[in-house]
Structure 1
Amino acid sequence: MEQAKKPNPDGYVHARDAEEYQRLRDQAQMWQRATENIFDRIALAPGMSCLDIGAGPGSVMRLMADRVGPEGSITGLEIDGAIAEQALRDLRAEGGAKFDYVVGNVVALEEVKGAPFDVTFCRLLLMHLHDPVAILEKMHFWTKPGGVVVAQEFDFGSIAVEPLCPAMAEFNRLFEGVFRGHGRNMRAGRQLPAQFEAAGLGLPDGTHCEVKYIPLKDMAAMLIGVYQGLLSAAKELGIADPERANAFRVEMAEAAADGRYYCLTPVLIGAWKRVT
């Protein structure tokens, strides 16, 4: 078994390495339609300015660029300077909009270069934070009057494999153990309306959710990647088990190859509010 990497000093429970960032790119592709749907509903248009908080490898920034065009500007806020530097190079090489990155921890920042923006956005960020309402308050402050605050978060209550799959039971044991043990929010998506209201935004103008029910063969690599990336955080909590980890990878690959199994994904829930 590979050795678990050291936990991240910034508290991110997943690994921060090339494998994790590739997993995030794959995940972004899986949920691209759900994010594009919201961009259509809020009328993201040419010339607008956007802030993507927790931008990572820049997948959402690329979707924004497709809509704001060469006259628009997009800023990514990212805590990991290495991935921000790489993403900025890639985005500028592809072109399509004006791109910039701010390297920093959103929890500690009070100001962001380029604010206020027409759209402030985050995806799969609030579930990792102990005070999501404080971040929504900052997003509100960094948004122009008439602009829009948008958040998309998972609700993990739906995730399951049918028929019953022993490998999925091990995934749930480790995943839920890490998330609960490190104080992460398993129900962040369904809590967005209440969090928007608590942040002074008021209840959302709209919500959108998407869930997928797909063959396990199309989801197994993602599940294995998530599991592997959580091992260091699991080790901190004393719930990492090398024998179980090895068996999980084998059994998940076998179940994927079997062809009978289907995976119900988490629900990705989005909410948005126009600032007055």
Structure 2
Amino acid sequence: MAKARKANPDGYVHTRDAKEYQRLRDQARIWQGATAGVLAAVGLGPGMSCLDVRSGPGAVMRLMADRVGPQGLVTGIEIDPVLGAEALRDLRTQSGADFQQIAADLFTLETPPGAPFDLTFCRLLLMHMRDPVIILEKMAAWTKSGGVVVAQEFDFGAIAVEPTCPVMGEFNRVFEGVFRGHGRNMRAGRQLPAQFEAAGLGTPDGTDAAVHYLPLSHMANMLIGVYDSLYAAGAEFGLADPVRASEFRKDMAEAGADGRYYCLTPVLIAAWKRMT
């Protein structure tokens, strides 16, 4: 089991390793349709330039490329240079657009190459930020007049398993304990309009919300992956130990195989604003 350690200095409370990055790829597949719909709604089209802020494994960059085509520019910012380089290699192998990757800390980066962009986008970033307004201010500054700023964030208020599933109590205990212990925002999605206002963007021009209700058999491995990625931070708070973790994995796998349970996912909420 991973040694307990402090949260990553960039605000990410999960571990940063190959297992976590694969979990992010799996998670991206679940929300691919929701993000593609938002990109269509804001009018991303051929030849445009776009920026994915904290781009991770590159899943959103691929969706952007599908819309901007070979004449478009798709740029990602990722603090982990190894992950960013791997994503860039994969994207360029698939082709579809001019891909660029920037290895940088958002809080020290002033102006990324290629700015200003037609679209500046982040997904599941602001919930990890102690001051998301600063990030939105930067995104607005990096967006050209007539371009669009988009944020897409989870709201964890709805997540549940039906019928009542005892093992979810252990998941929620560690998940909520780590997020609250590190001051992370579990309601980031519903707070996007207020954060846009605070960043000087004004009232969003549009919003969107997506949620899934899936058999727990489809979500059990994802929930185990989230728990494992939070284990180090949980152990630091005294919330997690090897015995509890082992029991959780066994019980969640059994619940997933049971066939009775369904999982209501977090709500993925998007808001966007066109710059003037």
Q: 1:5 to 1:82 in 2, by over 3 A?
A: farther
Note the C-alpha offset of 1:198: 0.8
Task: Show the counterpart of 2:242.
Answer: 242
Measure the CA separation in 2 of the matches of 1:38 and 1:11.
26
Note the C-alpha offset of 1:5: 6.0
Measure the CA separation in 1 of the matches of 2:181 and 2:4.
18
Task: Show the counterpart of 2:188.
Answer: 188
Task: Show the counterpart of 1:213.
Answer: 213
- TM-superposition CA deviations, 1:67-88 (whole Å, max 9, x none): 0000000110000000001111
| Stretch deviating more after TM superposition (121-130 or 14-23) | 14-23
Q: Return the TM-score normalized by structure 2.
A: 0.98
| Stretch deviating more after TM superposition (237-246 or 190-199) | 237-246
- TM-superposition CA deviations, 1:170-198 (whole Å, max 9, x none): 00000000000001000000000010011
* Structure 2 contact 137–200 (Cα < 8 Å) conserved: yes
Task: Show the counterpart of 2:155.
Answer: 155
- TM-superposition CA deviations, 1:125-180 (whole Å, max 9, x none): 00000000110000000000000000000000000111111111000000000000
Note if 1:35 corresponds to 2:35.
yes
Alignment of 1:5-154 (within 5 A): 6-7=5-6, 8-154=8-154
* Structure 2: runs of 5 or more not aligned: none
- TM-superposition CA deviations, 1:33-68 (whole Å, max 9, x none): 110111111111000000000100100000000000
Q: Return the TM-score normalized by structure 1.
A: 0.98
SS in 2 for 1:148: strand
* Paired positions, count: 275
In structure 1, give the amino acid aligned to 2:115: A
| Stretch deviating more after TM superposition (2-11 or 176-185) | 2-11
Task: Show the counterpart of 1:164.
Answer: 164
* Structure 2 contact 137–199 (Cα < 8 Å) conserved: yes
* Structure 2 contact 4–236 (Cα < 8 Å) conserved: no
SS in 2 for 1:238: coil
| Stretch deviating more after TM superposition (37-46 or 237-246) | 237-246
In structure 1, give the amino acid aligned to 2:77: L
- TM-superposition CA deviations, 1:68-120 (whole Å, max 9, x none): 00000011000000000111111111110000111011122121111000000
In structure 1, give the amino acid aligned to 2:233: A
Over the aligned positions, Cα root-mean-square deviation in angstroms equals 1.0
SS in 2 for 1:144: strand
* Structure 1 contact 154–186 (Cα < 8 Å) conserved: yes
- TM-superposition CA deviations, 1:12-37 (whole Å, max 9, x none): 11111111111101111100111011
**Identity %, equivalent residues:** 68
Note the C-alpha offset of 1:249: 0.4
Measure the CA separation in 2 of the matches of 1:97 and 1:5.
41
Note the C-alpha offset of 1:214: 0.7
